């Protein structure tokens, strides 16, 4: 786990009226993809549904398979590990410093390479 992932995993979320320790948030198994886990850092119930933000871990040997988000844009920062991404059939290396802009209703996927891959995904409007 690199310094960025460690900081995000052990940090805090500061709102105008509350603070959350990220260590208190649970890793939720992805409902559709085995080996994929999400920490819901900011959910739509805190933003009037305008946006959400999620720390995602794709375990070594697994992937977030091809999928779309109906009516939602997604901005993904690769914050740890190395994998392969695909947006609308275009492949790219997913590594620290790479960000993906996924328009609404566009097929995309990310496959972990050797080791776990960590993503910081933001959705507009909120995913949940």
User: Which CATH number does the domain housing residue 115 bear?
Assistant: 2.60.120.10
Q: Answer whether residue 95 shows pLDDT above 90.
A: yes
The confidence band for 1, taking pLDDT boundaries of 50, 70 and 90, is: confident
Average pLDDT of the chain to the nearest whole number:
96
Number of domains observed in the structure of the chain: 1
Domain containing residue 31? 3-124
pLDDT of residue 76: 98
In 1-128, which ranges are continuous DSSP H helix?
3-10
CA distance 1 to 118: 9
CA distance 73 to 111: 20
């Amino acid at each position: 786990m690199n310094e960025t992932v460690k900081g995000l995993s052990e940090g805090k979320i500061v709102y105008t009226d509350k603070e959350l320790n990220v260590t208190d948030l649970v890793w939720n198994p992805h409902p559709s993809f085995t080996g994929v886990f999400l920490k819901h850092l900011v959910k739509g119930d805190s933003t009037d549904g305008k946006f959400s933000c999620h720390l995602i871990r794709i375990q070594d040997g697994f992937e977030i398979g091809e999928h779309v988000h109906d009516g939602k844009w997604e901005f993904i920062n690769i914050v740890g590990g190395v994998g392969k991404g695909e947006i609308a059939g275009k492949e790219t290396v997913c590594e620290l410093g790479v960000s993906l802009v996924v328009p609404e209703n566009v097929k995309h996927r990310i496959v972990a390479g050797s080791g776990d891959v960590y993503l910081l995904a933001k959705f507009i409007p909120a995913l949940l």
